Amino acid sequence: MSKSRESTAPAAANDRPRRNFLVEFGALAAGAVGALVSLGAGLAVLLDPLIRKQQVPGKYRQASGGGQEGFVRVATLDAVPDDGVPRRFPVLADQLDAWNFAPNQPIGAVFLRREAGSSEVQVLHSTCPHAGCAVTFKAADAEQPQGFYHCPCHNSAFALSGEKLDRPGKENPSPRPLDALEVDTQRLQDTGEVWIKFLDFYTGRPDMKPKI
């Protein structure tokens, strides 16, 4: 009897650390599973817009539907007087990323111009191709009776067509004419609205390389 008590007591003592280890391991495993579940749920919420691709709200989708892809509406034809004088218009566009939709955000500006009796609209980017300052339109003077575009930063000047102007005694550092933008002519004809393909281009180079 005393012999068997002597043999079981050390065995029980040896089992205790193993039991403690199993209990601790179980608790750790349960904690890890819980943490993984929480992490998974958090990631699902975070990535949900990316997975299902956020949609433009319906009323804005309809407002920009139809016409050519990538064009934005800048004005009605009636808002561009046919007097040959360029008018500056802001370009607004809906901005959408994975989490947010912001309608009608300013993304740039253009000059619109049309000749007397014409329904064609000329569109020029208002950014100077030299270094990116904003170009203004200057009223007629002795040298340019029809007026001209001028950049106040380093004196670049451009004719109404957008071509570079060499004004006497004034260097023109622009490497290219003002950037002309495409109009959706079909839509202009059908709806009387001016929709343009608005792009920004790299400055300081002779070619029009679009920024993507």
Residues lying near ligand FES in the complex (CB under 6 A)? 128, 130-133, 151, 153-154, 156, 173-174
- Neighbour tally for 201: CB within 10 Å: 17
Please, which residues have CB within 8 angstroms of residue 175's CB and are 6 or more apart in sequence?
129, 130, 204, 205, 206
Q: Cβ of residue 152: shortest distance to ligand FES, in angstroms?
A: 8
Q: Cβ of residue 46: shortest distance to ligand FES, in angstroms?
A: 42
**Residue 151, both tokens:** 């950049």
In 3D, which of 48, 61, 92 has the Cα closest to residue 74? Answer: 92
For residues 103 and 132, which CB has a smaller minimum distance to ligand FES in the complex?
132
- Neighbour tally for 111: CB within 10 Å: 24
Q: Cβ of residue 170: shortest distance to ligand FES, in angstroms?
A: 11
Q: Cβ of residue 135: shortest distance to ligand FES, in angstroms?
A: 7
Q: Cβ of residue 136: shortest distance to ligand FES, in angstroms?
A: 11
Q: CA 67 to CA 91: how far, in whole Å?
A: 17
DSSP assignment letter at 104? E
74: enclosing H helix or E strand: strand 72-76
Sheet arrangement for strand 87-96: 87-96, 101-113, 122-125
**Residue 134, both tokens:** 């904003």
For residues 64 and 155, which CB has a smaller minimum distance to ligand FES in the complex?
155
9: enclosing H helix or E strand: helix 2-52
Place of tokens 């601790």: 24
Q: Cβ of residue 128: shortest distance to ligand FES, in angstroms?
A: 3
Inter-residue contact 88 to 125 (CB < 8 Å)? no
